[in-house]
Amino acid sequence: MNSALGIGMTSQRTRDRMIARLSEQGIKDVKVLAAMATVPRHLFMDEALAHRAYEDTALPIKHGQFISQPWVVAKMTEIVLQQNPKKILEIGTGSGYQAAILGRLVDKVFSVERIDDLTKKARRLFIKLGYLNVRTKTGDGFDGWENEAPYDLIIATAAPEKIPEKLLLQLKIGGVLLMPMGDNKQQKLVKITKTEAGIEQEDLDSVMFVPFLQGVVYK
């Protein structure tokens, strides 16, 4: 049986209920909803939690990391598509779920993860599912992925307390950096647009993500 299709609590019917709930919660972009109906979220988490994959909640993966709440993924993806990007850099691959959603919607996705074990697992899943336009590597997110720059948009799924300067340098003029910012008590999703004169920042929703940490973990 095709494991991407799922059974029981991971079936297409269960996914469809998630999509209906997202629509009720204000997610309107049909392309985002279609991508989230297609990508098998249950494959991006431990099998023991797969039956909860389509609940609207963040769930733990390994190494103290989480797969984000579906509504947060959908909302961030809606904001991404409003910029009409062709080439995206994601900071914080984690489970790989957000990158997989983006890979259904844009031409190229590059994703950096600081924990090598998560990088390898996500890469195997991308290959298994045929998401060949999504590339991932192990690295320090603060450094971005300079060799593939510039990017139309950079999205981060971890929260720094200040804007990482190297990421701004890897954006095109007119490009957008979309990321949570703040500490472990209060965070805002911010949209930062790079202009000829500098940057323009717009505060969006209140969110809560894991902290944006430096360094690389091999184990």
Query: Which residue numbers are catalytic?
Result: 68
How many CA atoms does the CB half-sphere of 153 hold within 13 Å?
Answer: 25
Tokens standing for residue 80: 């991404």
Is residue 178 exposed (0-12), middle (13-18) or buried (19+ Cβ within 10 Å)? buried
Pairing outcome for strands 134-138 and 108-113: parallel
| Among 166, 151, 35, 157, residue whose Cα is nearest residue 101 | 35
In terms of DSSP H, where are the helices of the chain?
Answer: 12-24, 30-38, 70-82, 97-103, 116-129, 165-169
- In the chain the first and final C-alpha atoms are separated, in Å, by 33
HEC profile of 53-69: CCCCCCEECCCCCEECC
Q: Is 82 helix (H, G, I), strand (E, B) or coil?
A: helix
Q: 159: closest CA among 51, 96, 42, 66?
A: 66
91 vs 143: CA distance, rounded Å: 10
